[in-house]
Amino acid sequence: MAMRKVRELGINKTYPGKLFIVEGIDGSGKSTQIYLLKRWLEQQGYTVFFTEWNSSDLVKDATRKAKKKNMLTPTTFSLIHAADFADRYERLIWPHLKAGYIVLADRYIYTAYARDIARGVDPDWVRNIYSFAAKPTAAFYFQVPVEVGVSRILRGRTALKYHEAGMDLGLSNDPAESFKLFQGIIKDQYDAMVQSEGFRVIDGTLPIEEQQVRMREMVQIMIKRYKPPFVIPDQSSLQS
């Protein structure tokens, strides 16, 4: 019953809101860009709802404990993140889209496609799990060379987390090298999705301001005839 309910939340349905999402390897700059877009849209008078990957209050404690004890196989890793996404989608993303809001997501289902497949999970199986999710108005892919993304992350970190570095895959005993190899595999998955998923590619090595200008130009076209909702949904009721 629960799965049937989730599958009804958006698959092959249109919605009055707009859904803009960003994807890219770690260090691609996508989080900075979605934040700047959020500020710009709000300055234009739009009401925006923002969500980010792996942030469900219901699931995050279980995810943290499982990762800490290295209990996750590729399949359970995939499922626990799918549960996180499904919870946020049912309670937050889809209700706001139905209400006509502009929803911004820092990572969407394509993160699962890239990471889970990189861990060896069957591609068709992963896509089927997320088949309930609505197709974004636009998916922006911030494309950078692996070396660029990795160097950005390593400059700001004293240590890499076990799963973040892909240490569970046995790619290398050195966390930094494992992280680089893991991100390379993930990037290959993203690059392969550019055509099939209709990604709007932005060069993540360009100056931050130039990337944002290009992103805003595309978004502006897509919200030209957009009509914002009149009533702001009660956040507490959406989460109940």
Query: Which residue ranges make up the annotated binding site?
Result: 24-31
One-letter-per-residue 3-state SS of the chain: CHHHHHHCCCCCCCCCCEEEEEECCCCCCHHHHHHHHHHHHHHCCCCEEEEECCCCCCCHHHHHHHHHCCCCCHHHHHHHHHHHHHHHHHHHHHHHHHCCCEEEEECCHHHHHHHHHHCCCCHHHHHHHCCCCCCCCEEEEEECCHHHHHHHHHHCCCCCCCCCCCHHHCCCCCHHHHHHHHHHHHHHHHHHHHHHCCCEEEECCCCHHHHHHHHHHHHHHHCCCCCCCCCCCCHHHHCC
- Contact between 120 and 74 under an 8 Å Cβ cutoff? The reply is yes
Query: Which residue ranges make up the annotated binding site for ATP?
Result: 24-31
Which pair of tokens denotes residue 149? 């993304």
Q: Is 155 exposed, middle or buried (0-12, 13-18, 19+ CB in 10 A)?
A: exposed
